Structure 1
């Protein structure tokens, strides 16, 4: 194992600058143990003293015990012309109780003269005075060197002077920042290498050099890795790459690459195993759907669709996977489609816990049926639940919970509701279990009304259905030879019971017909996995 690379998580501060993310104090407190479980070295909590919500957060967080991470407060250097000891925002940082403080300093002379409206020497004084004051208060200091890489392309020396000023004043870690995210790996490597050499020559070999990148060129992860290879031993980023504009470096991808590919000591083993879990729990907390194709932790990161892949995977999974997915807490998935062969079906059945042994030609017959149905418009790679129902039906093992007698939906426009035209939908569902049930429900659209009617009528005999919730609904026209209202429609539905989600597919000549099939199968699969006892009397 190579050197340790310290991991600095800034999800709660820099990540929260992403459009659509707004974290309450309670959200931040809930995120702390999740990030700590990952095994990061530092968690940046926000800017106490300047942002009231962050001041409250640090007060409450002080009572929490973290196993791995140390909590960091973020702020800025003292203002121009102001002694650090008299700067109110610096006093707010100290009063937060944080024992580590990161301050951002200008390292691009253009920002010094235009944004701070001061001269270059005064900026050096601000950095020196700030670090000296904070260290005298017993605080460990880190300095983010804002616009460092862009600044050196304008002035090849000034940013290095700012860095050395911070180091000589007592900063433990200095972090060059690609603030605008516009640099490429080769540029990051060269500048980081020069920065490390400059620190060593300045008599600061023990000062840790870090890296903070943004993803505006799509290179944030690559740039972080390039910096480590050039001598950085501290990386900053966010879970899932959250952040302003196109985001920060994805800390999960960086950590996995550095540890699994390059052999650096980054996260504890149990932390690495929790990568997938942490990604999804933080995603849930910030209320942003996980990106299925995210490296290492995405649902599709180790998903295989092609039949040729399946044949090889049956022999050795590593033939088509760059790592064992269990190393990061993920798992392999087989996707069933028209490309599926016997091997794909067998692997998918095994993944779903379906035993095909003892049924002659079961895999071949299922593969043939999948191809036929996908030719009609179904898609099973995005609807595992529908495939499982199809497989159990083919094997004669599918329990029948209900029999559908009929269903219908009507919509009408009510002349005016509060001065505006209003459309009301009504659905009626008739089913049989050990008796006949009829239920009518209204909704703000035909699918909503249908879902409400089906949920109510199913819940009478199967109370668990009350916990099922439609969480996603996708519609697509799939008949390329026909267009508009004359085309074949495919609907994909995602349903949840609060603990797990599942997806089903339906097709039809209209969106209501396709929605009914997908909706009914979603309830069917939910019942199948709830342990409910079928009551249907044929």
Structure 2
């Protein structure tokens, strides 16, 4: 590096070097001010002159914020308080009447934001790995050495939150969508369901363009998989209204289900080696060729009154898809998930028929 070599030569050949403060004052005309300052300092300089957020003549002086946080990421304490960098940024913007660009190092609004699907997936797995490690060691995540891909430091060190780390647009994949559902709504989708639902979100972003928020993703999810919360709005052909089970010592389960089928409400009965198998028998009695391929469940929170989520992968009349059910009773949640999958299969079939008629 010519600049650093020049600084090293100057430092070695100055008379009375101990009485001289060798100061660097790099500008960013070639986009290398930060690198030049760091290399020049390593070459023997004593001081670096610059500006907050790279302000200054032409393309600006070296960005002191970038230099300071860079040191911090390498384990060197710059002895600068960066804990509320957004307030410092707002003050600088007010004084200079110039905005700090969204992608400005460490201070921009998008510094910790990932839109790319592969980046989002890596960040999601990094957070999960840190959570698992903290649980295994019996400590909080804050006590661990920070190690999350694409996030060189913990956003909280700069007064940022994790809320804007992952945002979803047309370039995003399953990882970002799954992360937002898990962190904001405790919905932990199985991997194959992540792939399926990311396609649903992708259709929305492709059609409408721009970015979708976490609230919009939740609205898309509930519209696709869950019954409407509005009592007068019916979601799909079927709705589970109530169940009752009984079993004998042979392991056979008899399921009594009250089911809305279109405008009719019927009390039906099915048998199987469990409630799910018995309910599948009821669905087959409605003319569907249905098989269960996968089943996953988890609670949405801790406590005795916690809701449970169930996810079922079904094959219905040759089509493989997922259904989702949420209920205070895990068995009921699994049956609601089957209803969700059947209703989705019917909607898909109706949509294909309409498209074929066009």
Q: TM-score with structure 2 length normalisation?
A: 0.49
TM-score (norm 1): 0.34
Larger relative contact order (Cα-Cα within 8 Å, sequence gap ≥ 6): 1
